[in-house]
Structure 1
């Protein structure tokens, strides 16, 4: 996906000759596009990562949320009225530019008071879930699933974490035992399910005026609402103020929607396990080994704590 593809895509939105520059290169290539004083975000979607119905569903949800007043990027239709354009094997979409400053990076919250930010994030998550429940998914809506089988089944969405090649025999046994027990506990819960963003990390949350904005809906899925909170919170597990951040996030969310602290603790464990599977195909990438060790240590630590708190 190179500059000629961008130059081929831009006229579909009447932006031929606009200036552009590469912003990010992960699941998508994302370009900042400027025409006059107006900025946009052009996404070239990685071939094979998402199906056409999945991409259309993502864009439909973003448009709905934008129309409801959430500070999220809104898709802009092409000349023929479609949110999604096809350029050979590549899909492209154009979004409104979202102003704001990321609340932090990695495990750091650099904007404002960390506990205040966590409380704001909890409120915004609850607002997102409320609006989504009021919308309901259209019949043709298609997104990945992050419920029980995708987390703990025979073929989890992000891979069989218990088969990570760097697990010791004891670590593998620990994760297998945890998987079995967590599966029973999860099925016993009446966990709130619905559409979630599923990637609300610091880099994807912007501080904007006196509120928050949300970016990067690429991983949105049907899942547990407490999994949404766990995804945000997991990065801060080793921080000294983790209990304060956890409580602030729960307080913010509970101001709008019911949430179980015990359920969140289980989801923190399950989220940590997913990353052990996620890193397997990325072990040979720069920094892959270091990240893998950290993810295994985090998951096994949570697994030990989880099993110690439950009788066999």
Structure 2
């Protein structure tokens, strides 16, 4: 378990000790905002009038080269105007990728600071269908940018494909460890995964279907402020199927009745920027199920994260029901 109470207490102390790396005063308020893959803090400096967001990385999840590649893509997207996203903030020595030194309680950790962005996570009260139309267009602009962008030498980001998700060393842990998963449910999920493997293999990896994507456009990584949509947290960006970006966008709500309307809106928004073939759109339910089973494993391997306790076995049982529907629809 990564974020035990004593680890979090140590992280709080390390973040406070690291404030001078960004020229922040000792009076800076350090507030833990979120625990997920990483620990995210808000830093409010009353003396400098600065507000930053600090991402402290999970041990061993990303290499320095992968983080630097993520930051390179963010810089290119911002320069191109493809997406509204906060800029990384350099330390006092000009470097973006920082290190929180090791302590007796744990090894050194990577950390990156970002500008503070105003807004809140969208919800159904914010016309979620309308925002997914906007998100579709934003997603397509990111995909269009990648087609013309010469990635820098040494660019390193992971692949989000079947083997990475469900192979011998699944990146987010084995789905069979899912909360409350019994033998009957596991058999259904395995049948769904067999279907997913066949369909993704048939779908292929042509340039118009597979490439660099955000890979985690879920609601928690979107901020709405007036008519502006801001995208945050590119920590999971990598190479995958382009429509996987929609599947990730409905994470943890995949079986909500609103999802088909969100898919239609996202596709319509996407097509205002780039073409999306009907056969590509038709595969969206397959990728939504793929993401859902991936998250069954993620919740089990991140039991200390609040959303894991919130969703628990109910998420697994809902995944089995979704798998049964997928098998019926694509039989």
Q: Does TM, normalized by the shorter one, top 0.5?
A: yes
Whole-angstrom distance in 1 between the partners of 2:158 and 2:143: 17
* Residues 247-258 of structure 1 aligned to structure 2 (within 5 Å): 247-258=264-275
Does residue 21 in structure 1 map to residue 30 in structure 2?
yes
Match of residue 91 from structure 2: 78
Q: SS of the residue aligned with 2:145?
A: helix
Map of 1:8 onto structure 2: 17
Gaps of 5+ in 1: none
Superposed counterparts of 1:255-270, under 5 Å: 255-259=272-276, 260-270=280-290
Deviation, structure 1 residue 176: 1.8
- Contact 1:29 1:43 (C-alpha < 8 Å) held by counterparts: yes
- C-alpha distance in structure 2 between counterparts of 1:21 and 1:232, whole Å: 29
Structure 2 partner of 1:52: 64
- Paired residue total: 306
Equivalent in 147, 160, 168 of residue 182 of structure 2:
168
More strand by share: 1
What's the CA shift string for 1:199-230, capped at 9, x where partnerless? 21212111134221011222222222111101
Deviations 1:158-179 (A, max 9, x none): 2221354732222222122222
State the alpha-carbon separation in 1 of the partners of residues 246 and 307 from structure 2.
26
Instruction: Kindly provide the CA deviation profile for residues 11-54 of structure 1, in whole angstroms up to 9, marking residues without a partner as x.
Output: 22322345232142421242223354332223332333322112
Matches of 1:296 and 1:41, distance apart in 2:
32
Higher mean C-alpha deviation, range 23-32 or range 121-130: 23-32
CA shift, 1:248, in A, is 0.8
The answer to whether the 8 A contact 1:174-1:303 is kept is: yes
**Aligned residue number for residue 120 of structure 2:** 101
1:87 is the counterpart of 2:100: yes
Contact 1:204–1:215, Cα closer than 8 Å, also in 2: yes
Alpha-carbon shift at residue 73 of structure 1 (Å): 1.3
Q: CA deviation at 1:76?
A: 2.0
In the alignment, the residues of structure 1 paired with residue 246 and residue 90 of structure 2 have an alpha-carbon distance, to the nearest angstrom, of: 32
The equivalent residue for 1:278 is: 298
Partner of 2:229: 212
3-state SS, counterpart of residue 279 of structure 1: helix
Q: 1:90 to 1:229 in 2, by over 3 A?
A: same
**Alpha-carbon distance in structure 2 between the residues aligned to 1:190 and 1:48:** 30
How far, CA to CA, are the matches of 1:48 and 1:280 in structure 2?
Answer: 18
Is the contact between residue 121 and residue 223 of structure 2 (CA under 8 Å) also seen in structure 1? yes
- DSSP 3-state at the match of 1:22: strand
1:48-78 Cα deviation digits (max 9, x unpaired) = 3322112212222222222223321111222
Q: What is the CA RMSD across the aligned residues, in angstroms? A: 2.4
- Superposition TM-score, scaled by structure 1 size: 0.87
**Aligned equivalents of 1:175 and 1:136: distance in 2?**
39
In structure 2, relative to structure 1, the CA distance for the partners of 1:13 and 1:180 (3 Å cut) is same
Which residue in 1 is equivalent to 2:169?
A: 155
Q: How does 1:115-130 map to 2 (within 5 A)?
A: 115-130=129-144
Q: 1:140 to 1:21 in 2, by over 3 A?
A: same
